[in-house]
C-alpha cells in the first residue's frame, strides 16, 4: 500500500506529462487514440485538441492520410498488448511516410501508471483517485 507522498509524486508526474501533451495539442499536433472514450477521458483532463481514432480505418490508409496533413503526431494508444501492437504498426507506417511520431508521452504514462491502469480511457478516473487520496484540488488547464 503506497503512502500519500507516493501518490502525490505520481499525481505530479502525471500532471507534468498531461501538461506536455496539452502543449503539443495547442501547437496543432494530432493525438491518435483508440476510441471515443479515450477522447472523452483526455477532454475531461483538460486536453483539447485534434483527436483521431486509429481503430476505424485501414492503418495504412489512416497513416498516409494523417502524414499528408503535415502535423506532428502523438501516438497515445493503450498500454495493453493490443495498444502496443497498434503503436508499433502506426509508428512503422508513419516512419515509412517520413514522419517521426511522438511515443514518449505514451511510454511515460505507461511507466507511471503501470499495474494501476492500462488504458487512456481510465486516465481521468485514475487522476481523480490520486487527487482524492492526496487532497489535491488541481483540475484541468495544465499550464
More confident residue, 30 or 2: 30
Q: Using alpha carbons only, how large is the chain's radius of gyration in Å?
A: 15
Is residue 138 pLDDT above 70, yes or no? no
- 9-64 pLDDT, tens digit per residue, is 999 999 999 999 999 999 999 999 999 999 999 999 999 989 999 987 799 999 99
Q: Are 14 and 112 in contact (CB under 8 A)?
A: yes
Backbone angles phi, psi at 28, to 5 degrees: 95, 10
10 Å Cβ neighbour count for 38?
26
**CA neighbor of 119 nearest in space, from 74, 75, 84, 77:** 77
List the domain boundaries for the chain: 4-130
CB-based contacts of 135-142 (< 8 A; 24+ apart in sequence): 136/8, 136/11, 138/11, 138/15, 139/46, 140/45, 140/46, 141/46, 142/15, 142/18, 142/19, 142/22, 142/45, 142/46
pLDDT of residue 115: 84
Sequence length of the chain is: 143
Domain 4-130, CATH class in plain words: alpha beta
* CA 62 to chain centroid: 18
Amino acid at each position: 500500500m503506497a503512502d500519500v507522498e507516493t501518490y502525490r509524486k505520481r499525481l505530479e508526474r502525471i500532471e507534468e506529462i498531461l501538461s506536455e501533451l496539452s502543449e503539443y495539442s495547442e501547437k496543432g499536433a494530432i493525438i491518435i487514440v483508440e476510441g471515443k472514450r479515450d477522447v472523452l477521458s483526455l477532454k475531461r483532463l483538460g486536453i483539447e485538441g485534434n483527436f483521431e481514432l486509429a481503430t476505424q480505418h485501414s492503418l495504412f490508409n489512416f497513416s498516409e492520410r494523417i502524414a499528408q496533413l503535415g502535423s506532428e503526431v502523438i501516438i497515445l494508444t493503450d498500454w495493453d498488448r493490443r495498444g502496443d501492437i497498434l503503436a508499433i504498426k502506426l509508428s512503422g507506417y508513419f516512419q515509412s511516410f517520413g514522419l517521426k511520431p511522438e511515443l514518449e508521452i505514451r511510454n511515460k504514462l505507461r511507466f507511471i501508471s503501470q499495474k494501476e491502469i492500462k488504458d487512456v480511457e481510465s486516465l481521468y478516473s485514475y487522476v481523480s483517485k490520486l487527487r482524492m487520496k492526496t487532497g489535491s484540488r488541481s483540475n484541468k488547464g495544465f499550464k
